[in-house]
Each structure stands twice: as C-alpha cells, then as structure tokens.
Chain A
Amino acid sequence: MWLSGLRGFDWMPDLWSEIDRMQQETGRLLSGAGAASYQNFPAINLWMNEHDMIVTAEVPGIDPSDMDISVEGEMLIFNGSRHPENAGDGAKFHRQERPQGGFRRKIRLPYRADSGKVEARYDKGVLSIRLPRLEEDKPRKISIKSE
C-alpha cells in the first residue's frame, strides 16, 4: 500500500509537462503564431534544469558584435541587426526571403538569472545563452527533524 502510494508521485512530472504544454499552446494561440511574424524573430528554444537554463536562437549571418544581450532579473533581452549583403555593381534582387534589419526580443524566464554569470556563445549562426539560476532563488531541501 505504501509502495503504491509512492508510485503515485511518478505521474507528477508528467502533469507538469502537460501544464507546460498547455501554456505553450495558449501562448501560441494568443500570439497568432503560424502566420510569419517578425515580432517573434528570432525564434527561441529554452532548456532548463534546477540550476540553470539554456536559451538558444537561430540568428544566422549576424556579426556577434552587432548583437546585444542583457539580463535583468527574470527578463532576458537581446537585440541585434542584420545587414544586407553588398552584392556589387548593378545588383538586382530576384528573391529576398531572408529577414533583414533590426530585431529585438524580450523573454520572461521561468526564474531569476544571476546576471553576473551569464555566458553567451555564437556558433554556426546559432546563439546559445546559458543563464545560471540566482542562488537565493534555488529550491531548498528541507530536512525534517524527528524529536
């Protein structure tokens, strides 16, 4: 009986992931995603565990010096711009599908990040930002004392 009670906890993470999924779905509905919108450029993915998070974004063709990243508590802001390629004399565009110009994204993180320890890397057009969780924000294990 006791064992089956313990097993009952197993579905808890699944419940949370279900809630996460629902939040994402709602966010998507509200943002009207699906229709291409540069408001959400660049697209991001977020990975996390107890200690830190990794935010990745696909921002090809941008000079790292043209990008600016800042962290304020639980807000991550990054902006930058992409310059059009100089194609030489008499250049004529046949197709222009790649987004150009400035972009800015503001993301609310699941928890506060330690802004002093944030690391960012840019490789093959993929930006990845590692954001350690603020020490005082980390979950604490509470031990139960028996009398």
Chain B
Amino acid sequence: MMEAGKEIETRKEQAPVTRETIRNRPVYLPPVDIVENNDAIILLADMPGVDEGNIDIVLEKDVLTINGTVEPEYHENYRMAYAEYGTGDFRRSFTVTDAIDHDRIEATMKNGVLKLVLPKGERARPKKISVTTV
C-alpha cells in the first residue's frame, strides 16, 4: 500500500538534487513568503510536521540554509488507502546580503511555520535626512 502512496504526484515541489542526502527520503522545497519592512526582512516557510528541535538554520558566508526533518507518517495497524501528499524533509537555501545583521537573526516555529527575522544592519536602514532652511 505504501507504493500506492508514492505514485501519487504531490503539489509539493521536490528540491533539486545538488548533494545527495544520507537518509533515503524525499526532500521538498518549502513554500516561502519574504516580506521586507523598515527594520528587517522576514521569511516565513511552511514546514508542516517539523518540530522545533528538528530544524537547522545555518548561515555560511552569505548563504542561509534552512533544513527541517520530518518523522515519516505511519499509523500502526492501518493501511494507507489514499494519498495526495508525500512526507519528507524540507530544505532551501537563500543568498543574503551583508546588509543583514548576521548576529541578530531570530528564528521561531509555530504551527508548522518557520519565521525568520533578519534584521537590517545599521547601514541598510532607511535614513531620513531632514533639510534645514538657512
């Protein structure tokens, strides 16, 4: 029955294989929203099934990688009768500019959504220059 589940195409997008993983599991690209306000860039990623403890956020030079592992869905004494989505890990990388204050990045996880707040460095913040009359 597990095979039947695998054959169903899911709407989740599989991550392109750049490096092979140790675990033989599908890896999906989490859909993201990226919003910028005056102080920070906020990244929201849908990663259902990922626990706070199973998420890795790595910033290496200018590449920010988010990686979440999911426990495979399995119910003892049940057989899978119908499948529309597959379960697997999530991974996605982004290039961040040095306009981001690398030391103050904050991450929170709630209801399967990762929220990353990337504060802008002093340099990148909009400055208002007031004009004085002479």
Contacts and interface: CB of A to CB of B under 8 A. Distances in A.
Interface in B64-95: 73, 75, 77-85
Interface residues on A, range: 35 or more
Nearest to A37: B11
A143 to B, nearest CB: 24
B102 to A, nearest CB: 19
B44 interface: yes
Contact of B78 (A48, A88, A99): A48
A124 B50 contact: yes
A94 B38 CA distance: 14
Interface of A: 17, 20-21, 24-25, 28, 33-34, 36-37, 40, 43-49, 53-54, 56, 58-63, 85, 87-99, 110, 122, 124-126
Interface of B: 1, 4-5, 7-11, 31-39, 41-42, 44, 46-51, 73, 75, 77-85, 110-113, 115
